[in-house]
Structure 1
């Protein structure tokens, strides 16, 4: 039986594990990284640390299968990361350089993101201020758990009444693109980002 529950700090390790297990076009990225924590440090752990009320887990008898998390005001969230999250990580991981280089490892590229995070395009944040991340272990995908996680998260943020919510999807992840389209998200095309690796998708909430 699959349960959707509020985040419990005892499962912080699962956020790291799931982030890595879904970090390569929705599949396992563990063979690509020397540092198994980088994906979680960027994409899931900051939410557990700074906004745990907006983190929910899908669990069965074996433990967490996936998570959903995000923020209702992306602009404020990016500012908060800059003051409360990135500085500590920058003191631990040395900046590999201001401009990504072709010969960099994936670890170096992720550390570059810590030192030089790219903000979500303003035209997306203005219309769709909330953002969401939803990750499921590969064996738990395609059986309706993602829809349950999304519905539960939207209920949690309803009181904040954001105008809309956006998600960034890897352009090569066709399964994720189909999922978000089925959930009422449409592809957005902000200037300067149309050829990027990330496909921005949004859904109006009011």
Structure 2
């Protein structure tokens, strides 16, 4: 881990930083700020529910300039998805009506709103051995030097300590740097499509 950086548990005051980092890494690792008219939308989907519903499995990376990365996870994906359906999505669906635009004409904002209305698969298939899942994002200044690996080890240790059998994650297929990183820290490729790659890691029993 690089000098000048530290990992600490997430605190509620960090939520706005998670949203900003989610946006600034939201285009397959690149800055997605110019893609969205509403800068909060991507965070509502990929950061907010994790930090809000399972804050004990959220950690941030910070340096002298402030929070510059995060890793967030859930112990039981099926239970988390059901809780999102009860607690997280309903107010967002009221705030963001489903677009009337045909899906093939969706803007990035409309695609994210459609995801809010669709929610997550309540019972993910083929993940019995990998019930947990996670997301990790670091700003450019925090990348390299072992920061990502140290953050991943922090969350994986927390999941294993809580009894997880294994963890999965998804990444955009064109994010080659992330694909290489996940392989380097011990993840195995489970599934690949033209748009995404799913990785998994089992924990020793």
Q: Which interval holds the TM-score relative to the shorter structure?
A: over 0.9
Which residue of structure 2 aligns with residue 67 of structure 1? 70
Q: Distance in 1 between matches of 2:156 and 2:102?
A: 36
Q: Distance in 2 between matches of 1:100 and 1:60?
A: 44
Q: Distance in 2 between matches of 1:177 and 1:139?
A: 19
Which residue of structure 1 aligns with residue 24 of structure 2? 21
- SS of aligned partner of 2:182: helix
Q: Distance in 2 between matches of 1:39 and 1:172?
A: 18
Residue 7 of structure 2 contacts residue 62 of structure 2 at CA under 8 Å; is this kept in 1? yes
Residue 100 of structure 1 contacts residue 112 of structure 1 at CA under 8 Å; is this kept in 2? no
- The answer to whether 1:30 aligns with 2:33 is yes
Residue 38 of structure 2 contacts residue 109 of structure 2 at CA under 8 Å; is this kept in 1? yes
Which residue of structure 2 aligns with residue 54 of structure 1? 57
Residue 90 of structure 1 contacts residue 115 of structure 1 at CA under 8 Å; is this kept in 2? yes
Which residue of structure 1 aligns with residue 97 of structure 2? 94
TM-score (norm: length of structure 2)? 0.93
Which residue of structure 2 aligns with residue 9 of structure 1? 12
**4+ residue segments displaced more than 4 Å:** none
Which residue of structure 2 aligns with residue 141 of structure 1? 143
Deviation of the 1:121 alpha carbon:
3.8
Residue 47 of structure 1 contacts residue 55 of structure 1 at CA under 8 Å; is this kept in 2? yes
- SS of aligned partner of 1:122: coil
Deviation of the 1:154 alpha carbon:
1.6
Q: CA RMSD in A?
A: 1.5
- SS of aligned partner of 2:106: coil
Q: Distance in 1 between matches of 2:133 and 2:47?
A: 13
Q: Distance in 2 between matches of 1:100 and 1:74?
A: 30
Residue 22 of structure 2 contacts residue 42 of structure 2 at CA under 8 Å; is this kept in 1? yes
Q: Distance in 2 between matches of 1:100 and 1:75?
A: 30
Deviations 1:48-103 (A, max 9, x none): 21111111000011101100001010011100100010001001000115x96222
Which blocks of at least 5 consecutive residues in structure 1 are unaligned? Answer: none
